[in-house]
Amino acid sequence: MSIALKLAEIRERMAGAARRAGRKPEEIALMAVSKTHPATAILEALAAGQTLFGENRVQEFAGKRDEVASASTQAKVHLIGHLQSNKAAKAVELFDGVDSVDSLKLAERLNEAAERMGKQLDVLIEINVGGEEAKTGLAPTSNELYALLDGRARLSSLTIRGCMTVPPFTEDPEGARGYFRQLRELREGLRARGGLELEELSMGMSHDFEVAIEEGSTCVRVGTAIFGSRSYPAPYEEPAQ
């Protein structure tokens, strides 16, 4: 099946999940996760009207960026993988947003880099809802999370738009529901502290995006179901870049 057909099918399923949850389909963005796939795959998706993309490595996207930029000015690409602080400047230069801010130090580095470049950078805070050792993300009630949010006045070149999570993998997508709900409830709690809307909830991947939409996702990150399988494992199973 072509990328265009797969995109259409995903959009159809997203709309179905939204309707089941009494939500408007247009409230939920589809991010096409193009990691490990060549720039030509991105171009094919762009031609089918897809504009939002996710990549998980700075170096990898650096190699595709020129081709994508010369094909379309519409593409928006976000970083969704773990970022080492020493690559913050490169990430600010390359990406339209960083959806995987998983430490206060990284937020500070991104802020410094964005300030130097005169750029306002959209970010999401990654939360490790399952508390898994092997996964990145801040713990849901950690002091570091509060420090990041409460210190946002000093992070004025970042716009903190919400939270992102990758829940523990379960064969049955229903297994993720509780974690998605947990992220939404955490967001409500953080919102109640005041000051931040945190309107974005980036959750849901190829095998569980419908459950995520039912639980309030505003952005699903779909890779395999659009571009096919990858020849290396999911990034959260790989050593840090």
Q: How many residues touch ligand PLP (CB under 6 A)?
A: 15
> Which residue in 149, 205, 212, 219 binds ligand PLP (CB under 6 A)?
205
**79 contacts 98 by C-beta, under 8 angstroms:** yes
The region of 9-17, 151-159, 170-178, 216-224 touching ligand PLP under the rule CB under 6 A is 216-224
Alpha-carbon torsion angle 231, 239, 157, 167, nearest 10: 70
User: Per CB under 6 A, does 7 bind ligand PLP?
Assistant: no
Angle at the Cα of 34 (from 202 to 73), degrees rounded to 5? 90
Position 14 contacts ligand PLP (CB under 6 A): no
Return the residue of 56, 103, 157, 217 that touches ligand PLP, per CB under 6 A.
56
Partners of residue 165 on adjacent β-strands: 127
From 6, 35, 65, 82, residue interacting with ligand PLP (rule: CB under 6 A) = 35
Q: Tell me how far, at minimum, the Cβ of 209 lies from ligand PLP, in Å.
A: 8
Phi-psi category of 78—alpha, beta or left, where left has phi over 0 and alpha has psi -120 to 50?
Answer: beta
Name which of residues 156 to 185 contact ligand PLP (CB under 6 A): 166
Of 3, 14, 68, 80, the residue at the interface with ligand PLP (CB under 6 A) is 80
Interface with ligand PLP by CB under 6 A: which residues? 33, 35, 56, 80-81, 166, 205-206, 221-225, 234-235
